[in-house]
Every structure is written in structure tokens, then in C-alpha cells.
Amino acid sequence: MSTFYDHFERHGKGLANRVTHYCPGCGHGLAHRDLAAAIDELGVQDRTVLISPVGCSVFAYYYFDVGNTQAAHGRAPAVALGHKLANPDAVVISYQGDGDLASIGLAETISIAQLGIPITVIFINNGIYGMTGGQMAPTSLVGQKTSTSPEGRDSAMGQPLRVAELIAQLDGPVYVERVALYDARQRTKARKAIAKALRLQVEGRGYAFVEVLSECPTHLKVTPDAAEAWIRTQMEPVFPLGVKKDSMVEPWFRRPPPSFDAETVLALSGAEPTQDRAEGPARRHRLGARGRSLKLAGAGGDGAQTAALLLARAAIAEGFDATHIPSYGPESRGGTSYADVNIAEEEVLNPSAAEPDVLVAFNAPSLARFASTVPEGGLILYDSTVITEPGELPERRRVLGVPFTGIAVGLKQPMVKNLVALGALQAASAILPAPRILGALREVLKHKRAALPVNEAAFAAGQAAVAQARA
Amino acid sequence: MPATARERPFLEPAYCKGCLRCVEVCPKDCITPGTAVYPGTGLIPVELRLDACNGCGLCIAACPEPFGLRTQSETAHVEHAAQEYLLQDPTELFGSKIVEGSPIRERPAKAIPLQECAPLVLKGTYASAIGAVLAGCRHVFGYPITPSTEGAELMAKMLPKLGGSFVQAVSEVAAVNMMYGAGAAGVPSMTFTSSPGFSLMLEGISYMIGAEVPGVFVNVMRGGPGLGNIGPEQADIKLACRGLGHGNTHALVLAPSTPQEMLDLTMEAFALSFRYRNPVVILGDGYLGQMTGAVRLPSRMFRPGLPSWCVWGDRAHRTNLICSIMLAEPDLEAHNLRLNAKYAAICAEEQRADAYRCEDARVLVIACNTPSRMAKGAVEAAREHGIAAGLLRPITLWPFPIDALKELLPHVEHIIVVEASPGQLEDEMRLALSHAGIQPPPITSVRRLGGMLPQQAEILAGIRESQEVRV
């Protein structure tokens, strides 16, 4: 039995250092022996990582000579999953009691079972809290007296949770069985079930769950043989034994080792080595010490954020510092969508646009809300297709109505109204040279080349509309 | 141990708790309840009379103790000594089992050079995600929460192509425990979250600190308390610096102020996390998470090593244990003293701050994250008004960069703490001053709450006010 340590250090040196801390007659020891036997038989001691829970088996790591991690109450399956994904070759076992698995950790239990990633969960169900001293468990029977159900559990305290059945109806697990330890026949089945659950993981076939009805003579306040009888006569009718799920699954769990290839990482980051860049060096159009602050405001779907991002990209390509901050209403579509863009020659200090030099308004509420925030000498651009009556706007600002939507509809692509707006903005403000903005557009659409012509046309049409208005 | 072995059982009475589970199972009535107390244990072991024994093994399968009933061959070397066994220690009789295992070796991290790339235009959460990938992180666990989600989304896109794993956990509670598992296995892992989610992770962070498990938490702070809003606040400073779950906990807390720093500090966070075997928290604000800006990639990325202490799931690391439970009070006190020494080392070695125009500053503004950008603008403006203002921007909030502050104090006549929180940054500063035994000059504040950030004009007003107060 090499998987057990030769001495259990918890008890220090001496004669007692080969016995467990479990009470006489406790089922944990039997389950431990079954698990150790399974690890031995499969020859996976070196690869095994055992997650000990909070509960009586918190000290499982004193006994099992394997890699050991001790988890917070209820979280063992999450910890097990972290281990398994970190090293898919590890054989990871989450060993948990009923309070841990079926009460505080229920969300982890179910969600991680449903992932189906091969780990092995051993669930010791003894119908009571052991470590904290005999309180009611989620699996306590109706009528069972515990220290927190002193008159017996009634249904309003919750009825016993049949976890094996719960897990078996999930798609993730490949094998679920409930076993018991109360007689020789059941013990044989338990040993086989635990071995099978572990083998399914070793073979990469999937997640396996074994619920073990286990005796807690101490907190049932009976002798070990009476505890066995209690499991057989009282618990088993509520928790029927047997295989709850057993899917034939071919080995499937294989993970490639992580890649640390620099080129792949750069490509995924969207970075391009400098010599590959098509564009020339930054030209440094002048902005003045204060830089520029812009607000693009509309509804979700107007494209304000995309336009803002193009401005920021173009500015950075120009050699400036630039920031873009989006803000949205809670709706995914049709809610407010505001974009703050700031551009500075050296460093953007304030990334918000509380007093924008330029406002681009895609709808009337945005115009009404932000027009007054534009300081004197600023520029207000709005979509004159949508905003037919702009109302009273502050004086001493340049105000330009351009039919963003109308022009875009004329191009048979209403979605490009943001590019019309950008073209108009470029022509009206000359904040950035047009080729920079078009360069940013090409960059953003490099995987959607087909969309480029209509976007470029929209930009040009926006520029032309402003030129025409001037003429 | 096959139950079918036709060998007779053997029992060392010291390892029998007298639970009697073997008694009822023996078909030949070979085992009877004991009659004498065993002096070493105070328990009454069963008595074996094996004349009728046919070696069915049922008693062995019924014994919950790993070293309880075993076959005679397993304990063959015991028999001859059985007579005098009562008085002897098995360790002395048989020696300790030799635990096989190759010596635990550490595999160091490796730097991989990167080609020079044009600056990227990235939002803060993306920059952080790319920083993590460059640092070698291939395991990310998270739960969606605005305004941090985009980091997780980018990871979900990148990691499968890098042989890594992104898991959307059932909750932040599960996510942090997956990090605990991956970190216990010695691999770098991280999460993106925001204030309410960070609250949920605190339990797991306490366990990680207790068990000395590394991991990086990016908390893009939003407005609170409760559900609050998704605007930028800095009101988790208290939580990150003083409230990382129960017990004696601390973690390095880094405060970036630009998308570039989101990348740089995320990379650094992984290094620090493994250097100190402790979680590291990156506190951003809602603006910083969403803000797009220019980001330059570093000249190298990393392939992480494998530390000697980890529970990897192989022979070399089999004897390791990751655990935060220490039942013996002196053990836990010693552990805490060791943690304290680690905290002290962090305080001495890892303070970071950025000083801007501080050399001759008489008014010192203290600000971090996005508000530090507005503060920088205010300092510029104040200088234009002839006020000798400077900005000290803490990059580590815990430890607070008291050494940098101390150096400036001889010429500082007034401190203004600028923050989007009710004074949590100021509290950190005051605590650090107090511990350092420094009597500070007058301290005033510019604070906004609820998702509003202090604007440059407000900060400038605060600076000017400080001058009036002095006069």
C-alpha cells in the first residue's frame, strides 16, 4: 500500500503514528483505502494530486503520499480544475464530504461536473456534519435529529439532496455511481467504483463521480455496527445505490502544451513588427499645447465608438498621444453611446471630454445634452438627416449640419454614417490629415477588405459635404 | 490489497480502534470484541483466533484503518517480533519507508526576445491581457463583470491558440479557487474582475495568501457600495490594501494610470507574485479598463518556469503540500511571523512611485490611476500660475511609497490628496506617515464619488485654495 505514507506525521513519532484521526468505525478510512488501492493499481501515485476539502477529511494529506493541495470549504472541485488545466497529465481527485460538496460548494460541484473535464470526485455522504460536531447536512434525512435540527429535520429545513442523481442528469460527467460500505458486498462494489472513476480520468475519458454512503457512528451517536444498519435501513431507501450514469466515451482529453512562440503571441496581440508597417513615419501635424478634446455622441449602433477609435488610432499613428473612453447605457442596442477622444502632442492628461472642442452628435438628445458643453470657438457637427430641428444652439460656436444618414443611405449602406461623420469632421476641423484616418480605417478593416470601398466613399462624401457647405 | 487473497489476517493491536466492523463480517467467527484495554492507545482492540480462518479477506476489507487488518505477508516481517511488539516502536523495528522521489528541481523562467513593433492602440483591459500573455500566463479564470469583461474576452480568444485555458467560472468564488489550483500547480494564472466580483474573491485570496499561492488579480474598480454603477471609482483601495479576506493578509497593490501601464504592471505583477509566492492585485479604475491608448510592447516575453514548491503532479514534486491550515497554535504563529517578514521585505523592496515636478514642490498633489492624469494637468496649470506644485503618483498603493514621500517633505508645505474615493488613498498615506513617525504638513483633499472623477479645474482650485489657507 505504497500510496499511504508509512507514518502519519500528524500523530508524531510513536506507536500511534500509523492510525488515522478518524473516529472508530468511520467510513472515511474505508474510502481512503479504496482510493489508495485504486491509485496503486493504476500506478499513478506520482501523478496524483489530491484535493482535501474542509470537513473531517481536511487532513487527507496526512495519509496520501501524493501531491496534496488543501482547499477552502466547498471549493475543492474548482481547485481540482485549476490543477487539471495547469497540468493535464496530473490525476486530480477532489475528495469531499456532504457539507462541502452538497451545501456550500454546490455551485462549484454542479458547474464543474458539467464541464466534463476529467477529474475524479469522491463524495462522502454520511448525512451529518462531522468536523463541526453533528449539525444537519444537506443530506440529513427527514426526521433525523442533529444538533441544528434537535427535534428532527422537517421538510421546511430542506429535504435530503440526492446528489448522485443530480450529477447524473448533467451532460458533462461520464460516470456516476452511488455506493455504500455497510457490508462486504457493498464494500467490494465501492472499491470497484472508485477504481473505475479514477481509471476514466487516467484514460482521459471524462469526469467521474462516486457518492459513498458512509458511516459516522460518533455523530449518529450509535455503535459502528448500528451505523452500518442505519445506512442500510434508513439512508439507502432515500439514496438508492447503483450506477446512475455510465457513458461509453472514447479517450478525448488531450491538451497541447502551452505555446510560447513569440511570433504567435505578437500576431494574436495584433502587433506588427516595425519593418512590416506599410505606413511611413509619423509626420506631426501641429495641435498646440492643449491638444484637442472631442465627444462623439449617439445611440448604440450609430458607430460613434468605431469612429472614435479610428480617430485615436490615426492620432497615435501620427505620433500623438491619444485616448478613447466609451460610455454606454445599460442597453446593448439603442441605448446611449458616448465616446470621449483626447489627442495631445505629448501626453493626454484628462482622458474625459467634459468640455469638448468638437462635438459630433448623431441624434437630437445627444445634441441637446452636449451642445452647451462645447466652449466658445468650438465645433458642433450633427446629423441633419436625423436632427431636422436642431433648436437653439449656443452662440460663438461653429455649427454644421451634415446629413450623415442621408449620405450613407445614398451609398446603400446606412451603417457607414459614422464614416460620413468622420469625413465631415476631418474637413471641418483638420484635426488630423485625411490619409491618417484612412490609414487607420484600412488597418481596422484589414480582415474585411470588401467593406473598405464603401467606407472610403462615405468618408469622402462627408468631406465633400463640408466643402460644399463652405462654398 | 485484493480481498480475495487466501491469506490470513494480521493485526497490530496498536492500530486497532476496536470499531468491530470486522467482527460481524467474519463468517467463521474468528474475531471477537476485545476484553483488554491496549495500554498504548487506551482503546480495546479486537481479538483474533484464526484456527478456523480460511483467508477470505472480508475482515481486511472491512477495516477502515490503513495499517489495521492486513494480510500476514504484508506484515510478514512483523510476526517474529509480534511477541515483544507491545513494547516497541515500529519505526525502530522496521525503519521508515523510503519515500522514492527524484530531488525537487526548479525550472527557471526564460526570457524570449520580441521584435520591435509599432505601438498598438489598445484599451486598458486588453493591454493587461496582452501583458499577462507576454508574462507567460496561459490560464485565466473569470466571471463577466463590467467594466473588466473585455480582458476576459480577449483571453478567451487568445488562449486556445496558445495551448492555454480560459474558463468562465460559475462565479468569482469558483474563479479564484481555480486560480488557487493552477497557482498551487506552479503556473501563472489571473482574473479580470470589478469591485463586486472582487468582494466575492476575497475568501480565496485569503487562502492563497495563507497557502502562499501566486496569482494576479486585475480589479477594474467601479462605483459602489453594492451594485453601484459602472463608472470609475477608487473605493476598493481600502479592500485591496487592508481587507484581503480574513486573517493576516497583505498583497502588493499596483495602480496603473495608462493603458501602457496596464500592460507593464501586469507583466511585473506576475514576476512579483512568483518572487514572493503571494497574490498581486492590480487596481485600475473604470476609465482605465475601458480607455484606449497607445501601448508599446516590451522587448521580451517570458516562458514561465516551474517552482520547486509546487504540486505539479509528478514524482519530483510529489511530496509537496499546498495548505493554509495549521492547527497547532505555535505552528500558525510561526507561519504568520514568516508572512510578516515577507510583508516587511515587500515594504522595504517594492515601493514604487512616479514623481512629477516634485524637486522644488511646495504643494504636493498625491493621486493615482486616472485622477493622477488630471492632477498632472492641474500641476502644470498651477505652475503657470506661479505655484510650485508637484505630483507624487503612488504606483504601489500597498506598500505606500512612503520613502519617496519622506524625501520630498522637507520642502513640501501642503499635501493635497486627489481621489475618486472617500479618502481611502489618504488613509493609506496617513497610516504610512504615522508608521514612519512623520508629522506631515497640512493635508487637504479633492474627492469625487459615484463614478465621477476629480477634474483638472477642481484640482487646480484645490491647489490654489491651499495657498490661501497658508496666507
Q: How far apart are the first and last CA of chain A?
A: 94
What domain range includes position B287? 116-349
User: Residue B87 has what pLDDT?
Assistant: 44
> Can you list the positions of beta strands (E) in B72-164?
110-113, 120-123, 139-142
User: Residue A275 has what pLDDT?
Assistant: 62
B238 in a structural domain: yes
Q: Who's near B85: CB < 8 A, 6+ residues apart?
A: B12, B78, B93
On whether both A234 and A305 belong to a single domain, the answer is no
On whether both B312 and B412 belong to a single domain, the answer is no
Say if B180 is an interface residue toward chain A (CB within 8 Å). yes
On whether both A67 and A200 belong to a single domain, the answer is yes
Test mutation, A69, A104, A355, chain B, max B CBs within 10 A? A69
- The pLDDT tens digits for A430-459 are 889 999 999 999 999 988 999 999 999 999
B166 in a structural domain: yes
Domain boundary among B33, B64, B94: B94
On whether both A227 and A330 belong to a single domain, the answer is no
Q: What's the length of chain A?
A: 471
On whether both A148 and A17 belong to a single domain, the answer is yes
A284: pLDDT confidence band, cut at 50, 70 and 90?
low
On whether both B75 and B146 belong to a single domain, the answer is no
How would you class A111 by CB atoms within 10 Å of its CB: exposed for 0-12, middle for 13-18, buried for 19 or more? Answer: buried
On whether both B128 and B193 belong to a single domain, the answer is yes
On whether both B195 and B343 belong to a single domain, the answer is yes
Task: Look at residue B72 and tell me whether its pLDDT is greater than 90.
Answer: no
Task: Tell me the three cell numbers of residue A95.
Answer: 475528495
On whether both A190 and A300 belong to a single domain, the answer is no
Closest residue to B311, CB basis, from A27, A68, A266: A68
On whether both B17 and B132 belong to a single domain, the answer is no
Test mutation, B291, B299, B357, B376, chain A, max A CBs within 10 A? B291
Measured between alpha carbons, how far is B397 from B281 in angstroms, rounded to an integer?
10
B86: pLDDT confidence band, cut at 50, 70 and 90?
very low
What does the mean pLDDT of chain B come to? 92
Say if B262 is an interface residue toward chain A (CB within 8 Å). no
- In the beta sheet, which residues pair with residue B193? B219
A274 in a structural domain: no
A114 in a structural domain: yes
Q: Which residue has the higher pLDDT, B276 or A326?
A: B276
Chain B residues 91-130 with a CB less than 8 Å from chain A:
91, 96-97, 99, 112-121, 123, 130
Closest residue to B174, CB basis, from A4, A51, A78: A78
Q: Number of structural domains, chain A? A: 2
B106 in a structural domain: no
Task: Tell me the three cell numbers of residue B95.
Answer: 525503519
Of the given ranges (A44-53, B100-109, B307-316, B420-429), which has the lowest mean pLDDT?
B100-109
Task: Tell me the three cell numbers of residue A257.
Answer: 502544451
Q: What is the CATH number of the domain that holds A58?
A: 3.40.50.970
What domain range includes position A331? 288-470
On whether both B286 and B362 belong to a single domain, the answer is no
Closest residue to A272, CB basis, from B118, B161, B180: B118
On whether both A457 and A391 belong to a single domain, the answer is yes
Measured between alpha carbons, how far is A342 from A348 in angstroms, rounded to an integer?
6
- The pLDDT tens digits for A288-339 are 777 899 999 999 889 999 999 999 999 999 989 999 998 876 666 668 899 9
Contact (CB, 8 A) for B317 and A89: no
**Record: contact A351-B134, CB cut-off 8 A:** no
- The pLDDT tens digits for B429-452 are 999 999 999 999 999 999 999 999
Domain boundary among B328, B349, B370: B349
Say if A75 is an interface residue toward chain B (CB within 8 Å). yes
Task: Tell me the three cell numbers of residue B274.
Answer: 512568483
**Record: contact B97-A5, CB cut-off 8 A:** yes
**Record: contact A71-B24, CB cut-off 8 A:** no
Q: What is the CATH number of the domain that holds B216?
A: 3.40.50.970
H helices then E strands: how many in chain A?
A: 16, 13
Sheet-wide strand order for B443-447 = B353-356, B389-394, B363-366, B414-419, B443-447
A269 in a structural domain: no
B457-460, long-range: CB < 8 A, 24+ apart: B457/B378, B459/B365, B459/B367, B459/B374, B459/B375, B459/B377, B459/B378, B459/B416, B459/B418, B460/B378, B460/B381, B460/B382, B460/B385
B99 in a structural domain: no
A192 in a structural domain: yes
**Record: contact B292-A352, CB cut-off 8 A:** no
**Residue contacts between A and B (CB atoms, under 8 Å):** 345
On whether both A204 and A340 belong to a single domain, the answer is no
On whether both A216 and A306 belong to a single domain, the answer is no
What does the mean pLDDT of chain A come to? 93
Which chain A residues are closer than 8 Å to B183 by Cβ?
82
Which chain A residues are closer than 8 Å to B169 by Cβ?
78, 111
Contact (CB, 8 A) for B294 and B260: yes
Q: Searching chain B, which residue's CA lies closest to the CA of residue A47?
A: B313
Q: What is the mean pLDDT of residues A190-209?
A: 98
Chain B residues 379-438 with a CB less than 8 Å from chain A:
380
A213 in a structural domain: yes
Task: Tell me the three cell numbers of residue A467.
Answer: 466643402
B89 in a structural domain: yes
User: Residue B82 has what pLDDT?
Assistant: 43
- % chain A with pLDDT above 70: 95
- In the beta sheet, which residues pair with residue A208? A120, A175
Q: Searching chain B, which residue's CA lies closest to the CA of residue A322?
A: B293
Domain boundary among B349, B379, B397: B349
**Record: contact B21-A265, CB cut-off 8 A:** no
Place of cell 500528524: A10
Task: Look at residue A422 and tell me whether its pLDDT is greater than 80.
Answer: yes
A270 in a structural domain: no
